[in-house]
Structure 1
Amino acid sequence: MDKKAAPINITINKSYDSEMCGSIPLHLVNLVQPHGVLLVLDKTDFRILQISENAGDLLSVPAEELLGQPLSAYVPQEKHEEIVAKIAGQASQDKIPFTLPFLAQGIQKTFDAVVLPQDDYILVELEENTAIETEHFASLYRHIKYVTTLLKQSVTVQELAQRFSEEFKKFTGFDKVLVYQFDTQWNGIVIGQAKEADMDDYMGLRFPASDVPKQARDLYFRNPYRLIPNRNYTPVRLIPVINPVTQRFTDLSETNLRSVANVHLEYLANMKITASMSLPIIIEDKLWGLISCHHKTAKYPSYELRAAMELLTGILSVQLEAKQKEEHMELRVELRSLHVKLMEQLYTSSNFAEGLLEGETTILDLLSLSGAAVSYEGNTWTKGITPDAQEIKELLSWLRRSKTGGMYITNSLPADYPHSKDYKNVASGLITIPINAEQGEFVLGFRSELIQTVNWGGDPNNAIQMEPDGKSYHPRNSFQIYKETVKNSSAPWQQEELIAAETLRNALLEKLLKERY
């Protein structure tokens, strides 16, 4: 198993999210991929209002002849009644899968159909069915059970991601599978990888947020996967171009057949892959990351396999959430134990500064600090590695003027307070616990600078290359490792540490209040 760790908790000083890429209306393209047919039906009589131009190739009837015809003219009566009943009985607009026989010109074909009821019309996606044998389905089920058991045995998030990528590659037959986690700025980092030996190694590499812009990220909440079986396809139009009901382009947000922006197809070509499929990892209603599958040649996974992939991705999401909660709980338990010890010490010390900074357990242990300072009633006490007395005095003055609204937390102090660049090596990270902020009385916790190297998959500053016209653009054509040194930052503050700091602040204020009154 690949043991390389991927450091997700690094604060990148520059945002690589792209407003330009994020504003492209990906759902209003009026184009679909040719491996399926898209129908737009009237909600009342199921007449075909729009259809993709490739209908003749897959349905044996020219698209123009199908326009205006009722769906019932081509599908068995019982199947048509089933579709109508299921749409009528469904309160939501979730996708409804069917196996749909389609009879035209005396030729019957069987399709995997997905029916997507919309407010003003009904979308139907048809892909030719590749019949699956019972024992093949049983094999899928057994493999899912096996992978689920393996995932439960994983100890860390890293191990979980790596095991999943290895088993998912075996299960799906894709040449490469990546588990891709987003950081707080929507850059993605590969934390799990399984690949063919002759493919590029992306393990531990970070990719800029512009690679999966906001518009594309949002669409993952409406689709369980994004499939491009062959990037060399020629897109097909919907006819007529304008939806007769809405008088606008038909919204293809929820369709699997929706065509892909040319820039993304170029991106795949630059990665030397022909087919790709990506599935969202959603945890607590947030996009946590992606499963990204690559194939060197064209690949058309069956509908059954895609459904199984969707199920396994959901299982991974649940396991990742459980693993993260377990890790957070362990940290909370550890911090509570340290808090109890610190409180015992605090209440037996002659003054609260001594209780925080001296003894077997200190605030440095509780909040993983490299140094701390307490400013109270005109005095300042320090512990560990801290700025000098004058630097602390100036920092307190700045905090008194501008940071009086509760705790102030940063892991990049020089970005907010440029004067701190002179001592960034000892105080790139700062957490403040105000005692009486207006009087400049604070408990200060410092974290030293943590200089780290980020390995990018290509230069993130050249992720988008504009044409001279200022309208057309291309993705980067190199994914060679680009190293960036991140400075002026400390290790990030974990949520549990912030909760511990707030709990400590409340205890300090309560103790000081009791002493005064």
Structure 2
Amino acid sequence: MEKKQAPLQIAIEKNYDSEFCGSIPLHLVNLIQPHGVLLTLDITDLKLVQVSENVEQLLGVSPSDLLNQPLSQFLPASQFADIQEKVQGPSDLVKVPFSVTFKAPGKETTCTAQVHPKEGYALIELEDNQDSSSKDSFLEMYQQTKYFTSRLKQAGTVGEIAQLTVEAIKSLTGFDRVLAYQFDPQWNGIVIGQAKEEDMDDYLDLRFPASDVPKQSRDLYFRNPYRLIPTRSYTPVRLTPLINPISQRFTDLSDCNLRSVATVHLEYLANLQITASMSLPLIIDNKLWGLISCHHKTAKNPSYELRSALELLTGIVSAQLAAKEREQAIGLRAQLRGMHAQLLEQLYTQDSFTDGLLADNIGIRNLLNLSGAAVLFEGGVWTSGTVPTGQEMKELIYWLRRSQTDKLFATDTLPSQYVRARDYKDVASGLIALPINADQGEYILGFRPEVLQTISWGGNPNQAIQMETDGKTYHPRNSFAIYQETVKQTALPWLEEEIEAAENLRSAVLEKIIKERY
């Protein structure tokens, strides 16, 4: 049985998506993390025009001895040809990591490489090939992944998929805590799956404000298959020369896994009491649906093989989540179609369409999950269930005619949009309005009552960003203690399938009216 999950679709009045954080050009930091090196090539002759200052530690050759030298001088001929093809060949080759042997005087280093072609130049990321432990062996990873995918197909809900995923990734990687986040419509993330060590804080069902993963960071997840920080206690490495000789600006590091991390995010990790982190996007229908976030109390740098396995695994999970959501949507649509068919029969068998529409057993209230419904037509008012007073509905119709089009209108926060609705929020915090003849004030109205919702945040979202007096320097919140917020004057949200059912019903009613008149 699935545990009760915190409400995802509830409308939160305040927008916690920070425009300030979302406007910071994270891709132009010109700094990398020190667990690898970055080389910039002139795309025309494949000479090295910019390198990270730590090349000597990994490759055994100083920046000055690398700059303006042909890359071919440091690689076996076959490997250089491979890079040349990746730089100048089809773009689908560029994201696949491969192995190279970098040959410097007196030293050979086997590295894992990735190539990122840009306009006029190309970037090569190199990381030392770590010895894969037995834990990371292909056979064991294959067995665990195979077992996980077979269990995944049996999961009955999105929540079960999320929980299976975090448990599998924790087992596969050894991270101390693995969380599955799902984004709500306002980009706040809610934890829907968790696997952790006993001594770590429990974040299940907590919501984290959108400013924790601002727009700029969310966009970069479409360019990077993962975001790895082996340790927050690192010294960023600069690129030399500072300005890219090809672009005449800071180098675009959007595609680079080694890209350095904003200081505020390293502070955020420290406040979470973790040293290493890795996050992987869950992308459905080309939209960022959520994240898998891995935390470790000490430094941790998973091998390239393991990272690649996780990249494939999250792709499988995304596909399974999409399939489950489609399955649930199809099931609900089928149920609503069945109710619509019965309601349609009533519309044509009753003396008046209003009688068929407002019937207690199979009526619009059942179809759209309403607490009350009203039909205002040809000067008459017919109601079913709990509805506002006649005068209140007339004023509501006037507001609808004045401020809305002649199309269907639905809201789960009516009192925040129409002030007078605050007087009857317990009856109509939610409204769906189906125009029959808007110019004449003829509508079918459906109401939902106020539902008080308590949202548990991981720390006070109003203190997610703390600015210093200079107006430029800022810090993340330093507490993740549960902060509860009660959302008022809000009804249960309208599902996409319910809106479709309402549109179909409106068409059926209009057709019935036309047939009666003509």
TM-score between the two structures when normalised by the length of structure 1: 0.98
Change (3 A) 1:154 1:210: same
Distance 2:74 2:99 in 1: 14
Choose 89-98 or 347-356, whichever is displaced more.
89-98
Equivalent position of 2:37 in the other structure: 37
- For residue 488 of structure 2, what is the aligned residue in structure 1? 487
Residue by residue over 1:13-59, the C-alpha shift from the partner in whole angstroms, topping out at 9 and shown as x without a partner, is 11000110000000000000000000001112211110000001111
Q: How does 1:117-516 map to 2 (within 5 A)?
A: 117-132=117-132, 136-516=137-517
Whole-Å Cα distance in 1 between the matches of residues 72 and 403 of structure 2? 70
Q: Name the CA distance, whole Å, in 1 between partners of 2:405 and 2:110.
A: 68
- Distance in 2 between residues matched to 1:227 and 1:32, nearest whole Å: 12
| 1:127 aligned partner, one-letter code | E
CA shift in 2, pair 1:169/1:341, >3 Å = same
Q: Deviations for 1:326-381, whole angstroms, at most 9, x for unmatched residues?
A: 00000000000000000001101111111100152010010011110000000101
Give the residue type in structure 1 aligned to 2:85: A
Summarize deviations over 1:402-459 as a string: whole Å, max 9, x none. 2233111100001110000010011000000000001110000001111000000000
8 Å contact 1:2–1:162 — kept in the other structure?
Answer: no
Distance 1:336 1:279 in 2: 38
Note the alpha carbon deviations across 1:37-90, whole angstroms, 9 max, x for none: 000011122111100000011111111211111111111111111221343331
Judging changes above 3 Å, is the alpha-carbon distance between structure 1 residues 404 and 46 closer, same or farther for their aligned structure 2 residues? closer
1:65 alignment partner in structure 2: 65
Q: Secondary structure at the match of 2:49?
A: strand
Runs of at least 5 residues in structure 2 that lack an aligned partner in the other structure? none
What SS class does the counterpart of residue 162 from structure 2 fall into?
A: helix
CA distance in 1 between counterparts of 2:2 and 2:459 reads 22
1:110: which partner in 2? 110
Structure 1 SS opposite 2:127: strand
* Corresponding residue for residue 27 of structure 2: 27
Q: TM-score, normalised by structure 2?
A: 0.98
The letter of the residue matching 2:255 is E
Distance in 2 (CA, whole Å) between partners of 1:56 and 1:398 is 71
Structure 1's unaligned 5+ residue stretches are none
CA distance in 1, matches of 2:418, 2:216: 34
The 8 Å contact of residues 47 and 68 in structure 1, kept in 2 or not, is answered as yes
- Report the CA distance between 1:211 and its aligned residue: 0.4
User: Which residue number in structure 1 is paired with residue 9 of structure 2?
Assistant: 9
Residue aligned with 2:294, SS: strand
- 1:132 Cα deviation (Å)? 3.4
How far residue 133 of structure 1 moved from its aligned partner, in angstroms, is 7.1
Contact 1:177–1:292 under 8 Å retained in 2: yes
Task: Evaluate the alpha carbon distance shift between residue 4 and residue 358 of structure 1 in structure 2; reply closer, same or farther with a 3 A threshold.
Answer: closer
CA distance in 2, matches of 1:189, 1:500: 29
SS at match of 2:362: coil
Deviations 1:198-239 (A, max 9, x none): 111000000000000000000000000000000000000000
User: How many angstroms does 1:161 deviate by?
Assistant: 0.6
CA distance in 2, matches of 1:132, 1:182: 34
CA-CA distance at 1:91 after TM superposition: 4.3
Distance 2:93 2:143 in 1: 31
Structure 2: distance between partners of 1:292 and 1:133: 23
Opposite residue 299 of structure 2, the aligned amino acid is A
- Does the 8 Å CA contact 2:94/2:114 hold for their aligned counterparts? no
Is the partner of 1:49 in helix, strand or coil? strand
- C-alpha separation in 2, matches of 1:263 and 1:479: 16
Secondary structure of 1:27 counterpart: helix
Distance 2:192 2:60 in 1: 46
Report the CA distance between 1:92 and its aligned residue.
5.0
Shift of 1:401: 2.1
Cα distance change of structure 1 residues 501 and 4 upon mapping to structure 2, 3 Å threshold: closer
Aligned-partner Cα distance in 2 for 1:144–1:163: 12
